[in-house]
Amino acid sequence: MIDRIQSSFSAVQHELNYQRKIWQHRKNLPILEKRDRQIIDTLNRDGIYITNLADLGIDCTAELLNAASKLLPNMGKTNYNVAQQNHPEIYIVTDIPAFYDWGRQPRLLNILENYIGLPVAYHGVHLRKDFPNESQFATLLWHRDIEDRKILKIIVYLTDVEEKHGPFEYVPLALTSKYQLNYYRIQAQINNSGGIDDKTLNQIIPKSAWKSCPGRAGTVIVADTRKLLHHGTLRTEERSTLFFAYTANPPKQPHLCTHYWDNTYPRPTVEEIAEVKVGTLSN
């Protein structure tokens, strides 16, 4: 009983400290370009903003896409059986400037800091291929990320993504507010099983209310994956993406952020990296 009281008191203290830091940092937030205020307003309202690489207009996008095009042919060479649980193939590409530099462009970091409200920790980049699956598991289950109080993932579609490729899907924030019973029903399911399958969620929030995010190659999804109940959908064809990850610096649970730069996933080989560098220099 005493331990629970102490734990609750500690949690309240941490939250108050967090809110104090947010308040103190307000005067230090970088000034946004006028065109970027809409991004912040949309993220604050919906927890998600969808655009494309051309409209976003981040420098060095050509180098980013060229580097991805050099590495993708080397991924997903196994013959996957759709009836099995096929985990994605992930390359950590945080060490490769063509990927890492795109995600740390000053304008982009200014946008993210204005949303997070604190200095930003840029954790790194995954190049990812997802494969056909018939059953839900891992990130195919509905979930919320837990690394921090606000977690921004930038997802870039490297190929056209239709329903058959398994687009990102989420439930609108208005349907999962903390002021609604749905929030607690969903959280109980996540706590019990680690995620929610489609059938279970449909009993809480009807499928007609879910929002799927198909898009052409170059689609960019900026999402607060802590706020949004989300998942990757079942697919019959593979999907190629980039994932960039950001939290406050430091995040609430830094040990959950290391997989963007540690040895959780493989890195490209020396030969593959050399090919990326040659391709970047030739542009």
Confidence (pTM): 0.94
Q: How far is CA 37 from CA 119, 154, 194, in A?
A: 18, 17, 35
Residue 230: its pLDDT value, please?
98
Q: Are strands 239-248 and 120-130 parallel, antiparallel or unpaired?
A: antiparallel
**Those residues with Cβ within 8 angstroms of residue 181's Cβ, 6 or more apart along the chain or in another chain:** none
Query: How many of the other CB atoms lie within 10 Å of CB of 4?
Result: 8
**In contact, 228 and 170? CB cutoff 8 Å:** yes
Quick check: helix, strand or coil at residue 252? coil
Give me the residues paired with residue 239 across strands. Answer: 130
Would you kindly state where each structural domain of the chain is located, as residue ranges? 31-282
Residue 80: its pLDDT value, please?
81
Of the candidates 76, 211, 91, the residue with the CA atom closest to the CA atom of residue 130:
76
Of the candidates 213, 255, 240, the residue with the CA atom closest to the CA atom of residue 46:
213
H/E element holding 102?
Answer: helix 97-103
Of the candidates 169, 167, 171, 170, the residue with the CA atom closest to the CA atom of residue 235:
167
Instruction: Cite the DSSP H helix spans in 176-255.
Output: 181-193, 198-204
User: In this structure, which topology does domain 31-282 adopt according to CATH?
Assistant: Jelly Rolls (2.60.120)
* DSSP of 148-174: SSS-EEEEEESS-B-GGG--EEEE-GG
**In contact, 147 and 257? CB cutoff 8 Å:** yes
Of the candidates 124, 211, 198, the residue with the CA atom closest to the CA atom of residue 163:
211
**Those residues with Cβ within 8 angstroms of residue 207's Cβ, 6 or more apart along the chain or in another chain:** 198, 201
Of the candidates 205, 221, 204, the residue with the CA atom closest to the CA atom of residue 213:
221
| pLDDT block averages, 10 residues each, the chain of length 283 | 62 89 97 94 97 96 97 90 88 97 98 98 98 94 96 98 98 91 92 93 97 98 97 96 98 96 95 80 54
What is the Cα–Cα distance from 260 to 250, expressed in whole angstroms? Answer: 15
